[in-house]
Structure 1
Amino acid sequence: MEIHYLSENNSVLNHFLGQIRDIKVQNDSMRFRRNIERIGEIMAYEMSKSLHYKAVEILTPLGIKKTTEIADQLVLCSILRAGLTLHQGFLNYFDNAENGFISAYRHHPNHDDFFDILVEYQAIADINNKNVLLLDPMLATGQSIVAVFNKLIERGTPKEIHIAVIIAAPEGIAHLKENLPDTCHLWIASLDEKLNDKSYIIPGLGDAGDLAYGNKL
């Protein structure tokens, strides 16, 4: 798996990453959503450098300009519900992309810290021979992304798989390396220290879905 760490060099990305972590800023859910969206835009720009392009000619009012445009067919697929704001950021830049949405959540059958991942709702575009961009703000254990990936490949064979996460734990990265093909690309905005005993990312930011859309039952 090829891993791209995007916050190693100082940029406005780190500015927005700091704000989504700051408990003084997190109380403003609209600002939190907007910052996640802006991070998605920055990540989409960085990812765009790895795509394939084709030569085109553009007719302007005064002549013809030779330039390039994206040649790959893209499918943005976000994991509900936390992935929605990140999805919008990517869609702002890849506005011709097709879209997909999958729900995945931690199910605690014994009402303790043990959980498994349930993947239920799916609304997915055709992914055959297309570049699939799998979007989820948080990479903790990695189980959700692996479960969603396995559901996706039941529907077809993508040309490329790109996974975009904002905050990742080393344990989640290791899990993806063990369970996903080597050809996958993993894009990480920020690498954190570890998981705690409840499998939450430390220092992390809390529950991205709750911060964006309110507490769930």
Structure 2
Amino acid sequence: MHVHHLLEKNSIANTFVAQLRNVNIQTDRLRFRRNIERLGEILGYELSKNLKFQEEEIQTPLGTANVPLHKEELVICSILRAGLPLHTGLLNYFDAADNSFISAYRHHPNDDEEFEILVEYLASPSLEGKTLILADPMLATGRSFVNVLQALEKMGKPKQIHLVSVIAAREGIEYLEKSFPENSHLWVATIDENLDEKGYIVPGLGDAGDLCFGSKKQH
């Protein structure tokens, strides 16, 4: 897997990540969602450099111009519910892409720290021969991405897979490297070193879904 770490070089993206982490700012849900959306746009722009382009002649009022345009069929798949703002950011740039939505959540069957990832909802077009972009703002253990990939197998085999996250744990990246094709790409704003005993990223930012949309009842 090819890992593209955005904050290896300083940019305005630092500001958006800092505000997402900041406990005094992240309670503003509108700003929190918008910052994830902004990072989706930035990561989408970086991802676009990896797509294949074909020159096309464009008619202008005064003549013609030859412009390289990407011609790949894209499908953006977000993992509900935290992936929605990230999905919006990607769709702002890849506005002609098809869209896929899938649920994946942590289920604690024994009401303790042990959990399994359940996938219960999927709406997707065919992925056969297309470029798949999987979006989830938090890459912790990596199990959600792997379970989602398995659930999507019935929709066809994509020719290329890109994963997009805001914050990833190194442990989760290592898990994905064992489970995804070698030519897959991970586009991530920043990488944290640790997971805590509950499998949450440290220092991370908390529960992205709750911060985006409000707390949920556990089941």
Please report the TM-score for the alignment, with normalisation by the length of structure 1: 0.99
1:6 paired residue number: 6
Amino acid at match of 1:6: L
What is the CA–CA distance in structure 2 between the aligned matches of 1:146 and 1:163, rounded to whole Å?
A: 11
Equivalent residues in 2 for 1:1-217 (5 A)? 1-217=1-217
Amino acid at match of 1:166: V
Identity %: 55
Deviations, residues 41-95 of structure 1 (Å, cap 9, x unaligned): 0000000000001110111111111111111110000000000000000000000
Structure 1: unaligned runs, 5 residues or longer: none
What is the CA–CA distance in structure 1 between the aligned matches of 2:12 and 2:165, rounded to whole Å?
A: 17
- Number of paired residues? 217
What is the CA–CA distance in structure 2 between the aligned matches of 1:126 and 1:7, rounded to whole Å?
A: 34
Amino acid at match of 2:151: K
Tell me the CA shift for residue 35 of structure 1.
0.6
Tell me the CA shift for residue 14 of structure 1.
0.9
The 4+ residue runs of structure 1 with deviation greater than 4 A are: none
What is the CA–CA distance in structure 2 between the aligned matches of 1:162 and 1:152, rounded to whole Å?
A: 14
Tell me the CA shift for residue 187 of structure 1.
1.1
> Is the 2:125–2:155 Cα contact (8 Å) retained in structure 1?
no
Tell me the CA shift for residue 154 of structure 1.
2.2
Q: Indicate the SS of the match to 1:114.
A: coil
What is the CA–CA distance in structure 2 between the aligned matches of 1:94 and 1:125, rounded to whole Å?
A: 16
Tell me the CA shift for residue 158 of structure 1.
0.3
Amino acid at match of 2:92: N
What is the CA–CA distance in structure 2 between the aligned matches of 1:34 and 1:56, rounded to whole Å?
A: 34
Structure 2: unaligned runs, 5 residues or longer: none
Please report the TM-score for the alignment, with normalisation by the length of structure 2: 0.98
Q: Indicate the SS of the match to 1:42.
A: helix
What is the CA–CA distance in structure 2 between the aligned matches of 1:177 and 1:48, rounded to whole Å?
A: 22
Amino acid at match of 1:15: T
Tell me the CA shift for residue 155 of structure 1.
1.5
Tell me the CA shift for residue 4 of structure 1.
0.9
What is the CA–CA distance in structure 2 between the aligned matches of 1:21 and 1:102, rounded to whole Å?
A: 26
Deviates more, 1:94-103 or 1:1-10: 1-10
Question: RMSD of the TM alignment (CA)?
Answer: 0.7
What is the CA–CA distance in structure 1 between the aligned matches of 2:126 and 2:15, rounded to whole Å?
A: 36
